[in-house]
Amino acid sequence: MLGRRGFDAEVSPTDGHPIVLAHADGANRKRDLLFYNHYDVQPPEPLELWESPPFDLTQRDGAVFARGSKDDKGEFVARLASLDALAKAGGGYPCRLTWLAEGEEEVGSPHLPEWVEKHRHDLAVDGAIWEEGGIDAQGHPLITLGVRGLLYVELRVQTISRDAHSGQANLLPNAVWRLVWALASLKGVDERINISGFYDAVRHPSPVERDLLAKLPSQEENIKKEYGIDRLLLDRRGIDVVAATFDPTCNIAGIGGGYQGPGSKTVIPSRATCKVDFRLVPEQDPYDIETKLRRHLDKEGFEDVEIDVLGAERPGLTKPDADLVHWMAETGEAVYGKQAMITPLSGGTTPTFLFTEHGVPVVAPGVGWGNFNRAHSPNEFMRLQDFENAIRHLARLTVRFAEG
């Protein structure tokens, strides 16, 4: 698709899924804008909750439904369409364009950092348009300046060589109990993470960031309605809802062990596993947190709980006063007719740190209806109206960027 649009596109191997790097010339050769996307998606499970097949794009109620319709194929396709519009209207692109598309974003981009370091000379851009973002429930374009880091681990315990009859539960150690106790030692119902030193590097929002947060609508009611609940976690309200991204998390993404079928089976499970993701805030470092997690488990007597790191990314931050931020707000307001909302730190994770740490401003205009597109969930969707607006926004932004 990029080759057909005049890009010099190359599929570059990694030890994981290959990375696509593409360049195209444009009218202003002194300005280079990078687009980042990813071609992988989250697993579609649980399949039974999909109203149409996850990999069969289905249109209904003014929207299209499929895994990736928002995150991130929908965003990628919107960008292609905006370039088509620019080429048709102007006879070419307004500036140099660089495209970076990876296939491991959803698993923490394990091979991207090394690859980016090797290709720094091809990535000397003046600004980057990342994925993620969107518009809020009231139709304001959202601009995201920062993302959280991530440490994703699988914890594993094996206590005995095989499952045993539960009549021996007084004698044999149960792997699920070991895991439950280890997890309960990490965080209690107060949501405070009890790993020693976990909060040491946390930087709280600056005055400028707090001003931006104060301008954001809280989203409290929308989120409650969307998930069918009466109150948010810890009863967060108002600014505490949008400011919550400045608090790191310890989330159990999945757990399994023993008999999970229908009815009863009386066994002592020999093995148990769980997946835990920590969303990290500036200036936390995932490898530092991994070290502290290991130390915590050992100290609490859980030397038998093994840690396997499945993903590690640092947080990435762009300064609110960067030109690119201003241009994105200005063009977004022109398209949507509503004031742009600038989010200093998004709840999610994507490896913008690879650019922000080298002084390249990175913003995410996003496509679609903010956090309400069911990204990562069954029935992920993209409203067609949002898709069209995103195309317009991206085209205007690219033109503005080329003017410098």
Residue 242 burial (10 A CB sphere; 0-12, 13-18, 19+): buried
Does 202 bind a copy of itself (CB under 8 A)? Our answer is no
Does 228 bind a copy of itself (CB under 8 A)? Our answer is yes
Choices 83-91, 112-120, 249-257, 392-400 (CB under 8 A): range interacting with a copy of itself? 249-257
Question: Measured from the CB of residue 291, what is the shortest distance to a copy of itself in angstroms?
Answer: 20
Radius of gyration of the chain from its Cα atoms, rounded to whole angstroms: 23
Distance separating alpha carbons of residues 139 and 132, to the nearest angstrom: 16
Does 138 bind a copy of itself (CB under 8 A)? Our answer is no
Choices 17-25, 72-80, 247-255, 334-342 (CB under 8 A): range interacting with a copy of itself? 247-255
Q: Among 60, 192, 265, 358, which residue sits at the site for a copy of itself (rule: CB under 8 A)? A: 265
Question: For residues 35, 253, 182 and 346, what is the CA-based torsion angle, rounded to 10 degrees?
Answer: 40
Q: Which amino acid is at 18?
A: P
Provide the sign of the torsion angle of the four alpha carbons 60, 62, 67, 69, taken in this order: positive
Crossing angle for the helix pair 323-336 and 384-403, to the nearest 10 degrees: 140
Give the 3-state DSSP-derived string for 339-372, with helices as H, strands as E and coil as C. Answer: CCEEECCCCCCCCCHHHHCCCCCEEECCCCCHHH
Choices 85-93, 204-212, 274-282, 336-344 (CB under 8 A): range interacting with a copy of itself? 274-282
Residues 62-101, interacting with a copy of itself (CB under 8 A): none
Does 289 bind a copy of itself (CB under 8 A)? Our answer is no
Residues 6+ apart with CB under 8 A from 359: none
Does 253 bind a copy of itself (CB under 8 A)? Our answer is yes
Choices 6-14, 115-123, 133-141, 163-171 (CB under 8 A): range interacting with a copy of itself? 163-171
Q: Among 67, 79, 96, 187, which residue sits at the site for a copy of itself (rule: CB under 8 A)? A: 187
Question: Measured from the CB of residue 126, what is the shortest distance to a copy of itself in angstroms?
Answer: 28
End-to-end CA distance of the chain: 28
Residues 297-326, interacting with a copy of itself (CB under 8 A): 301, 310-311
